Amino acid sequence: MRKFVVDMMGSDRGSSMTLEAVKTYHRLHPDDQLILVGRKEEFAEASSFAKLVNAPDVIEMEAGALEVIRRKESSMVVAVHTFQEEHADALISAGSTGAFLSAATLILKRIPGVLRPALVTGFPNLGRGNFVTLLDVGASNTNTAEEIQQFAYMGSLYAEGAYGIQKPIVKLLSNGSEEGKGSPVGKEAFALLKADSKVDFQGNIEASQIFAGSADVVVTDGYSGNVMLKSFEGMAKAMGKLMKQGFSKNFMTKLGYLFAKSGIDTIKDTMNPKKVGGAMLAGVNGLVVKAHGNSDTESFVSAMEVASRLVDAKMIEKMAAGFAKAEQQ
Amino acid sequence: MRKFVVDMMGSDRGSSMTLEAVKTYHRLHPDDQLILVGRKEEFAEASSFAKLVNAPDVIEMEAGALEVIRRKESSMVVAVHTFQEEHADALISAGSTGAFLSAATLILKRIPGVLRPALVTGFPNLGRGNFVTLLDVGASNTNTAEEIQQFAYMGSLYAEGAYGIQKPIVKLLSNGSEEGKGSPVGKEAFALLKADSKVDFQGNIEASQIFAGSADVVVTDGYSGNVMLKSFEGMAKAMGKLMKQGFSKNFMTKLGYLFAKSGIDTIKDTMNPKKVGGAMLAGVNGLVVKAHGNSDTESFVSAMEVASRLVDAKMIEKMAAGFAKAEQQ
């Protein structure tokens, strides 16, 4: 039995979407305990299977990181406090990334030793039939070389814990695979990573090679990581749209779609970051998952599933133990 | 009749690939004059339809920007000089980006007024059924806000000249669509662009929205632009691979592929930056096109086609006239 706290407000689609999502999740995992935070009257029907916590204020998508400090009545801030007080296993929100990250970091604090939290997500690794872990995909706007270096360790602990990869191969995102390529901060991080015995660092990687299998963990600053993630999303959507157009071209192609359906129907979703679901905010004291702001029911459920797998993998305990060990060295 | 100079060496696949490509291009455009530079003995058979210029040295893919200065016998440097001496219309190379850009900039010089050249490429704009112009996709590693501001004007001239778009809408790549988002240099560029009457600047755009149609030109620094371009490439390749797997799953899906072939076969290629072909180095005195280092015959021909369209559009004349006008203001 897992215990979830869900911020019901703050997504682009409002509480009707999150209500559908928690109903679906409850059907799939009836034993899990759900605590839903927000304007109770909007999701009162969930009281039959979940605990409801009222929070009258909703933080807007455009809200900045500092705004949360004074929005104590907001569903997001109340959700973080509830998560802490209830000793819950996971906390999920689709609200403003900046606001959610600062609320979680301020209230829950960082794991000792962590310089800066990072948003972590996993993508299918087509080369190895496994997953590749990417971070930071957008918690920060700029990072120091030391922070990027630490993301490598954080990402390695994630890859081990979430995907069972022993001694994960770490690469650094760059604009060329050779040493000496990269942004100024990337070049600094390269030097630090080369000397870091805690991780298996194997050099630079270009974004075009991420899915090809040569790396288990790819680290970068939060700005570049966010550009990469959203570029993946844009191309996945564009190709999905083109596929749809291609199949609806004429009678023959429509027939072809019916025959090939079983093989191709899940492709778009497999590779779409929006559909893949949530990104964990690694480095804070607690399992905090950010769902896409524009989530639909399916992708919000997917974010909850990501959270449930990370709970089962004891990700926070492993992350904390890893940093405690590193601090002793 | 167009006059092309082609650096036959320096791609990952060697001169056998470029030889096939120029043969194909010659069949498609028998009136165009081709001048081929490199180790003549490797492509001697092309002498029946092209002029061959010998250059014994080949600049490696890993070569840096400074290396070209002392590699006077290299096909790349000889190609740039030949282009200038022959008053050719376009110059194409698949060699090291850094080396090619510095050779072209050093020898051909910048158009007066240009702060820094940028690599420019176009992508299908699915929202408008037109093209979206992206720059810089990798000429620089870092850019100043003033350079990014100027890319907006350069990109607008490109979108007008290459795609016939009047008063193109310019957006700035960012990690959020709201004002105030972005990298430190991006935020500075935002302020400059807002005050720039030469371009129709309409705010920030996320990489996930590039193909959706709200912008005709998207500007960014060369590092972020390169990450974006290579992310598009990685996702396009990954989805292409998944489509192939999906269609070969069983007899029914294979049959489906046969029926749908006409509709879906070109999707992967439409969106793959590698297949889309070349990127123009905008801002230098002469039409210089960089083909993908890992080009196959098809994508190198595509780069030559990009060049031929830009020749026909009188892109360099328009770029120079645009900057001359801006300088007078």
**Chain B contact present for A85, CB below 8 A:** no
DSSP summary character for residue A103 = H
Domain co-membership, B132 together with B255? yes
Listed in sequence order, the DSSP H helices in chain A are: 14-28, 75-85, 97-108, 145-163, 184-194, 222-247, 251-264, 267-271, 273-276, 297-312, 315-328
Choice among A285-294, B38-47, B237-246 with the minimum mean pLDDT: B237-246
Q: For B257, which of A126, A242, A260 is closest by C-beta distance? A: A260
**Chain A contact present for B230, CB below 8 A:** yes
CATH number for B300: 3.40.718.10
Final residue of a structural domain among B274, B294, B318:
B274
Domain co-membership, A251 together with A135? yes
Domain co-membership, B6 together with B108? yes
Number of C-beta neighbours around residue B273 at 10 A:
24
Domain co-membership, B144 together with B100? no
Q: Is the pLDDT of residue B272 over 70?
A: no
Does the model's pTM come out above 0.90?
yes
**Greater pLDDT, A273 or B261:** B261
Q: What is the pLDDT of residues B112-140, one digit of tens each?
A: 999 999 999 998 888 887 899 999 999 99
Q: Is residue B10 very low, low, confident or very high in pLDDT (cuts 50, 70, 90)?
A: confident
Instruction: Count Cα neighbours of A275 within 13 Å in the Cβ-side half-sphere.
Output: 14
Q: What is the 3-state secondary structure (H, E, C) of chain B?
A: CCEEEEECCCCCCHHHHHHHHHHHHHHHCCCCEEEEEECHHHHHHHHHCCEEEECCECCCCCCCCCHHHHCCCEHHHHHHHHHHHCCCCEEEECCCHHHHHHHHHHHHCECCCCCCCEEEEEEEECCCCEEEEEECCCCCCCCCHHHHHHHHHHHHHHHHHHHCCCCCEEEEECCCCCCCCCCHHHHHHHHHHHCCCCCEEEEEECHHHHHHCCCCEEECCHHHHHHHHHHHHHHHHHHHHHHHHHHCCCHHHHHHHHHHHHHHCCHHHHHCHHHHCCEEEECECCCEEECCCCCCHHHHHHHHHHHHHHHHCCHHHHHHHHHHHHHHC
Contact A256 B252 (CB under 8 A): no
Element (H, E) at A125: strand A118-125
Q: For B227, which of A138, A227, A234 is closest by C-beta distance? A: A227
Domain range spanning residue A55?
A: 1-113+283-329
Tokens of B49: 């339809």
**Chain B contact present for A126, CB below 8 A:** yes
Sheet holding B51-54, edge to edge: B51-54, B33-38, B3-7, B90-93, B288-290, B279-282, B118-125, B130-135, B217-219, B169-173, B200-205
Mean predicted lDDT score pLDDT of chain B: 91
Domain co-membership, A150 together with A79? no
Domain co-membership, B77 together with B25? yes
Q: What is the pLDDT of residues B132-182, one digit of tens each?
A: 999 999 999 999 999 999 999 999 999 999 899 999 999 999 998 888 889
Q: Which residues of A touch B206 (CB under 8 A)?
A: 230, 234
Task: Count structural domains, chain A.
Answer: 2
**Chain A contact present for B66, CB below 8 A:** no
Q: For B175, which of A211, A212, A226 is closest by C-beta distance? A: A226
Q: What residues of chain B, 16 to 55, have a C-beta less than 8 Å from chain A?
A: none
Over range A85-106, report the average pLDDT: 93
Q: What residues of chain B, 133 to 192, have a C-beta less than 8 Å from chain A?
A: 138, 141-142, 173, 175, 178, 180, 182-184
Domain co-membership, B46 together with B110? yes
Domain co-membership, A134 together with A56? no
CB of A128 closer than 8 Å to CB of A165: no
Domain co-membership, A258 together with A300? no
Q: Which residues of A touch B224 (CB under 8 A)?
A: 223-224, 227
* Cα torsion angle, B163, B166, B167, B168, sign: negative
Domain co-membership, B103 together with B161? no
**Chain B contact present for A256, CB below 8 A:** yes
Final residue of a structural domain among A233, A257, A277:
A277
Q: Which of A136, A185, A205, A231 to mutate to test the interface with B (most CBs of B within 10 A)?
A: A231
> Rounded CA gap, A109 and A119, in Å?
15
Cβ neighbors of B155 (< 8 A, separation 6 or more) are B118, B120, B133, B134, B135, B168, B170, B217, B218, B219, B282
ipTM of the complex: 0.91
Domain co-membership, A233 together with A317? no
**What percent of chain B clears pLDDT 90, i.e. is strictly above it?**
67
Contact B126 A242 (CB under 8 A): yes
By residue count, chain B amounts to 329
Q: Which residues of B touch A212 (CB under 8 A)?
A: 234, 237
Question: Could you give phi then psi for residue B23, rounded to 5 degrees?
Answer: -65, -45
Number of H helices, E strands in chain A: 11, 11
- Among candidates B81, B140, B78, B69, which has minimal Cα distance to B282? B140
Over range A276-298, report the average pLDDT: 89
Over range A203-207, report the average pLDDT: 96
Size of interface A-B (CB pairs under 8 A): 200
Q: Which of B174, B221, B242, B250 to mutate to test the interface with A (most CBs of A within 10 A)?
A: B242
**What percent of chain A clears pLDDT 90, i.e. is strictly above it?**
67
Domain co-membership, B94 together with B47? yes
